[in-house]
């Protein structure tokens, strides 16, 4: 997995990149009560707001980590937003992206670097 400074994780699955938030981010948010997912077949640029998460503490946006196309979303989160708290780095992925070049992921942190970031 790769990690962003915005506490997102990125996992390569074949030609796609799966995006979610880290356990650290889920803990900071508190109990998630609402998730708004993007439309599939949407082209996004790095930094675009893609997902809206609302918790009992705050609302937060998930940004596109890289340029690409949203090819799938995890509709389970719409019915069960609490899954983000239960399994943030597994079943609670938000969306899958298709990238032109997977090597752009090299710019992100590995697990050791991310752990250093969050202390």
pTM for this predicted structure: 0.94
What element of type H or E holds 28?
helix 23-29
Please spell the DSSP secondary structure of 74-96, one letter per residue: -THHHH-TTHHHH-TTTTT--EE
**What is the reported pLDDT for 83?**
97
| Average pLDDT of the chain to the nearest whole number | 96
What mean pLDDT is predicted for residues 77-82?
Answer: 96
CA gap 103, 111 in Å, rounded: 17
CATH code of domain 2-102:
2.40.50.100
pLDDT tens, position by position, 10-59: 999 998 999 999 999 999 999 999 999 999 999 999 999 999 999 999 89
**What is the reported pLDDT for 56?**
93
Backbone angles phi, psi at 106, to 5 degrees: -60, -20
């Amino acid at each position: 997995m790769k990690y962003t400074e915005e506490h997102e994780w990125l996992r390569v699955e074949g030609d796609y990149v799966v995006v979610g938030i880290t356990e650290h981010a889920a803990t900071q948010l508190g109990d998630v009560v609402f998730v708004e997912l993007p439309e599939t077949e949407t082209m996004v640029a790095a930094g675009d707001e893609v997902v809206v998460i609302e918790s009992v503490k705050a609302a937060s946006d998930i940004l596109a980590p890289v340029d690409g196309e949203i090819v799938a979303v995890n509709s389970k989160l719409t019915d069960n937003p609490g899954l983000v708290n239960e399994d943030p780095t597994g079943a609670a992925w938000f969306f899958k992206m298709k990238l032109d070049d997977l090597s752009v992921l090299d710019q992100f942190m590995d697990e050791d670097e991310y752990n250093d970031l969050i202390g």
